[in-house]
Amino acid sequence: MARASFRRTNRRSVHVFVFLIVVSAVGSILGLPLYFRIRGRLAPADSLCRPCLCNCPSRPRVPHHLGKLLQELYADCGGDDPDAREEMQKDLNALLKEQLELTKIIAEESLRRNEAIVKDMKNSAGLYRKEADKCRVGVMTCEEARENAEAKFVLEKKRTAEWERRARERGWVDPSRVYI
C-alpha cells in the first residue's frame, strides 16, 4: 500500500517537473520577443539613443563611385581623438591619394608574393620534368632490352627447332612427345 502511494507521488512529481520544463521553454521562446516588442512600443526610439554631438563638416559633392569611401570617412567625426581630428582636417583629395597609395602597396605585396609562388612552382615543375625524363629514358632502355631479349628468344627458338629437326632426321626421338 505504501509503495502504491509512493508511485503515485513519484508520477505526480515527474508530471509537474515535465510541465514546468515545457512552460519554461515556451515562455523563453515566446516571451522574449514579446517583451522587446512591447518595450519598443512603450518607450520612444529617440530616448534609447544618446544624442549625437558631432560638428562634422558638410559633405562635399563627389561622384557616385566614391560614396562608399565617404561613408567610411564621415561615419564618425572622431570626437576627442587628436589623430582622428587631424585625419578629418585633411582634404578629400589627400585622403583619396593616401587610399590609392595604400591600395598600390597592398597590390605590390600581393604581386611579389604571387611571383614567389609562381617561381617556386616553376622550380617544382622543372624537378618533376627532370624526374619524368629520367623515368622515360629508363622505360625506353627497358623496352629496348625487352625487344632485344625477345628477338634473341625468337632466334634461339628457331635454332632449337632446326637442331631438333636435324636430330629427328638422324633418328632421335623425344621421349616427352607422343608421335601419332
Q: pTM score, two decimals?
A: 0.35
Residue 114 inside a domain? The answer is: yes
SS3 annotation, 95-118:
HHHHHHHHHHHHHHHHHHHHHHHH
| pLDDT given at position 129 | 94
- How many domains, in total, are found in the chain? 2
Identify the sign of the CA torsion 58, 60, 63, 69.
negative
Residue 53 lies in a domain: no
Q: Can you tell me the distance from the alpha carbon of 39 to that of 114, in angstroms, rounded to the nearest whole number?
A: 55
Query: What is the model's pLDDT at position 57?
Result: 54
H/E stretch holding 37: helix 2-42
Rg from Cα positions in the chain: 47
Express each pLDDT in 106-159 by its tens digit: 999 999 999 999 999 999 999 999 999 999 999 999 999 999 999 999 999 999
In a domain, 132, yes or no: yes
Residue 31 covered by a domain: yes
90: Cα separation from own chain's centroid: 40
The overall average pLDDT reported for the chain is 78
Q: Are 77 and 53 in contact (CB under 8 A)?
A: no
Residue 124, in any domain of the structure: yes
> Is the model's pLDDT at 103 over the cut of 60?
yes
pLDDT at position 122 is 94
Nearest 5°: the CA angle 46, 48, 52 is 65
177 conformational bin, left if phi > 0, alpha if psi -120 to 50, beta if neither: beta
Residue 71 resides in a domain: no
Domain for residue 162, yes or no? no
pLDDT computed for residue 131 by the predictor = 94
| Residue 117 domain boundaries | 92-151
Asked whether residue 84 is domain-assigned, the answer is no
pLDDT of residue 114: 96
Say if residues 74 and 54 touch (Cβ distance below 8 Å).
no
Q: What is the mean pLDDT of residues 27-55?
A: 65
Task: Specify the length of the chain in residues.
Answer: 180
